[in-house]
Structure 1
Amino acid sequence: MKRSDWKGATALLTGASRGIGPYIARALAGEGIHLALTATPASKEKLNRVGASLAGFDVKTFTMAADLTDQNQRSDLIRRVDSFLGPLDILVNNAGVENAGAFAEITETAIHQIIDTNLTAPLSLARQVLPEMIRRNKGSVVNVASLAGRIPMATIATYGASKAGLIAWTEAMTSELHGSGVTVAAVCPTFVSGEGMHARTGVKSPWMAGEVTPERVARSVVDALAGRSHEILVTPLPTRPLLAMLALFPGLGTRLKTAWGLSAFMARRAGQPPHATENRR
């Protein structure tokens, strides 16, 4: 579908209160898409402010705080959105958490929080909205993943695993939903400047990894609605040739990440000595 075909559609955006969430909300509202916004209960005030900031757009908005790691709250969220805005046409799974540090030292609770937020919740929400989308032959699920799901990096192993799972699910569903009128896409940004998890570390990424603006990520989410690609890599440099090379020569990965300074960079982000990630290879 063309982007213009989504005017008047309804969308649910998770993780809407902070980071790139408000940018995605504005980008969708700019396309004339009615919005249901959700974030954690702890971010309720910020969420309401994001909803109020969309008053200048000719769209309806609905805000609801919910813990997406709770199945009952996920189901209640879908029911209430349907009651307020009608059946969902678009689901944008943007909510995500990262817990940087050596994997052997993070807690079981942290592991479950990352997997439940970044992978289980998006799949659960999609499972609840897909039957109606398929019935109406119209819909789009956009998953905000990460380049970390394609290029695994030390100190964020669980985060990368959750995003890799989201990318794999997206690719599988693209085949499963072929011809249904429903599209699925993964938007995979590199480190995002200005806002979000990376920006909060205050550490500049190395030139090879680069950084992208939250506005560019938001534009890519809107572009994903066209359904032309099931994966959009949001990076300042061409990345697919690198991914192809790593697929052909897996052993190069660790050496290249060390040579390009990625390993030392990830250690600094996690507050570890620069050599720590290399010692744990």
Structure 2
Amino acid sequence: MGTAVAATGVSYRYGDHVAVDDLNLTVEKGEFFAILGPNGAGKTTFLNMLMTVTRPQSGRVTIMGHDVVTDTTEVRRALGVVFQDPALDDRLTARENLDIHAVLYALPRKERGNVVDRALKWAELDHVQSRAVRTFSGGMKRRLELARALMHKPSLLLLDEPTIGLDPQGRRHLWERITSLREQGMTVVMSTHNLIEAESCHRVAIIDKGRLIATGAPAALIAELGSSTASLEDVFIAHTGKQLFDDSATGRDGMMSFARQGGEFTR
């Protein structure tokens, strides 16, 4: 299918601190890929490179064949991004937030209204489109951000801790939409602290101290431990000597029924 993300010999320092250290990583088109790592592991710095916010100090990163340094415009056209912290103007309505981004994405004027309509319906927010975003729950805001990130039909979706801080219902509703995108073949790269979510990915990469220390399908990484009771958490501890906490995570019971339904977002 081809390569969506390729990082070769990538490094970045903040003074004496090495944030990313000779990182080599690939994500194939159509993959649902998770990046795991403790706080300070270099995940955010690497994601910022993918977003063209931070330039690698050495090495090379490409998105859909475009260099993040020399082909910044093409990379940004290929990306949809949902940030960890909300990036909505909560003084505006849901529709107004999407209207603004339809302009920023340079969608044709005659198509913008229909694209926004479909985005609101896909996020199940069409009935509250005239409400100020500040009145929305965390889950509603996340769905709006996800719909916004998809308006220009990106090739790659980047999710930075997409469900952190959400209650179980908000997580479930958001995950239903992410799962639907996965089934449609969208390439998704997700940073997460939630190991249950990571177990549903095609592959995971474990990063610690800026280096890639393990990558593979969750089941394969678990099998390498040789224990019938092992989990992805055990894999993470075995490779890093640390635990990975998600303060907002819930238990496995009642967590994320990975819904196999939901609409499409198409123009």
Structure 1 length as normaliser, TM-score? 0.34
Higher strand share: 2
TM norm structure 2: 0.36
Question: Which structure's relative contact order is higher, taking Cα pairs within 8 Å and 6+ residues apart?
Answer: 2
